Every structure is written in structure tokens, then in C-alpha cells.
């Protein structure tokens, strides 16, 4: 039971952190920041992004290391693996966007947004397929 609890709670924690990170740009954009530039005010978004990846990795480690995957949906596990890899890509794009002098900001922001949307879709599919 504790095995299940650690897997399930780490998974849900990753979802909450990912969702919070996702919401931050929309919440922080119009906040008065006493003259602080927008990219500086976005620090919770950056750290929630890194944390989401780390907690997702811990969740997958807990699941895989138990060595007992029989009965679990294989497509669901593959989707989760793809989501984890896409999150790494998302971090890379995010790091490029942190640079205030970035010249390709428009296209990178679009890429960052659609990558987020695809990760969200993969997470929803993973939950639907692998939830008990």
C-alpha cells in the first residue's frame, strides 16, 4: 500500500507542480512588480518548471524501480516517458527564453506554449490509461 501511495502521490505532486508552473505566466504578467522586469518576475515559473521535471523523474524512478509493471497499460507508460523527455526539451526552450536579448523570442514562445500543451495532453492521457 505504501508503495502505491508513494507512486501515486509523487505523480499527483508532479501534476500540481506542472499545472502551477503553467499558470504562473498568466498570473504574473499583469501583476504590478514595482518596476521589476517581467522576466525577473517569472522566477516562480522557472523553478516550478525545473521542480516539475525532477518530481516527474522521481515518480518514474519509483515506478520503474519496483520492477512490477505487469497489469499497467504499456501505451500509458510510453506516453509518460515521452512526456518526461519533452519536458527536458521544454526546459531547454525556457532557458533560451530567459535571455532578454533573445532575437527569436516570438517563435520560441510559440514553441514553448505548444510544447506545454502537448506535455499537458500526454499527462492527461497517462493518467487516464494508468490510473487504477
Partner 1 sequence: MRDQKPVSASPLFRWTIFLVLLGAVSTWSIRSTLVHAKRMKPAATSAAAFSTLQPGARATAVVQLDKVSGESLTGTLLQRESDTVYRRTVSDTNLVSAILTPKTAVVMGKAEDILPGAIVQISGVLDTNHALQADQVVILTGYVNVTQGPM
Positions that interact with partner 1 (CB under 8 A): 1-5, 8-9, 12, 15-16, 19-20, 23, 26-27, 30-32, 68-72, 132
Q: Who contacts 75 (Cβ-Cβ below 8 Å, separation ≥6)? A: 129
State the Cα–Cα distance between residues 4 and 94, nearest whole angstrom: 33
Please, what is the minimum distance in Å from the beta carbon of residue 122 to partner 1? Answer: 18
Closer CB to partner 1, residue 92 or residue 128?
128
Nearer to partner 1 among residue 77 and residue 93 (C-beta): 77
C-alpha closest to that of 58 among 8, 23, 16? 8
Please report, for residues 61, 78, 85, the alpha-carbon distance to residue 74 in angstroms, rounded to integers and kept in the order given.
16, 6, 17
Nearest distance from C-beta of residue 93 to partner 1, angstroms: 23
Q: Which residue has the cell 493518467?
A: 127
Nearer to partner 1, 62 or 93 (CB): 62
CB of residue 57 vs partner 1: minimum separation in angstroms? Answer: 19
Tell me if 108 sits within 8 A of 93, measured CB to CB: yes
> 73 vs 111, which CB is nearer to partner 1?
73
Amino acid at each position: 500500500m505504501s508503495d502505491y501511495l508513494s507512486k501515486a502521490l509523487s505523480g499527483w505532486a508532479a501534476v500540481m507542480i506542472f499545472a502551477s508552473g503553467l499558470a504562473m505566466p498568466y498570473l504574473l504578467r499583469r501583476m504590478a512588480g514595482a518596476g521589476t522586469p517581467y522576466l525577473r518576475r517569472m522566477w516562480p515559473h522557472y523553478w516550478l518548471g525545473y521542480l516539475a521535471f525532477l518530481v516527474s523523474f522521481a515518480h518514474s524512478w519509483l515506478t520503474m524501480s519496483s520492477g512490477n509493471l505487469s497489469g499497467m497499460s504499456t501505451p500509458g507508460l510510453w506516453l509518460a516517458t515521452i512526456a518526461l523527455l519533452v519536458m527536458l526539451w521544454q526546459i531547454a526552450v525556457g532557458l533560451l527564453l530567459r535571455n532578454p536579448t533573445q532575437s527569436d523570442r516570438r517563435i520560441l514562445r510559440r514553441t514553448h506554449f505548444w510544447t506545454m500543451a502537448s506535455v499537458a495532453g500526454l499527462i492527461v492521457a497517462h493518467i487516464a490509461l494508468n490510473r487504477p
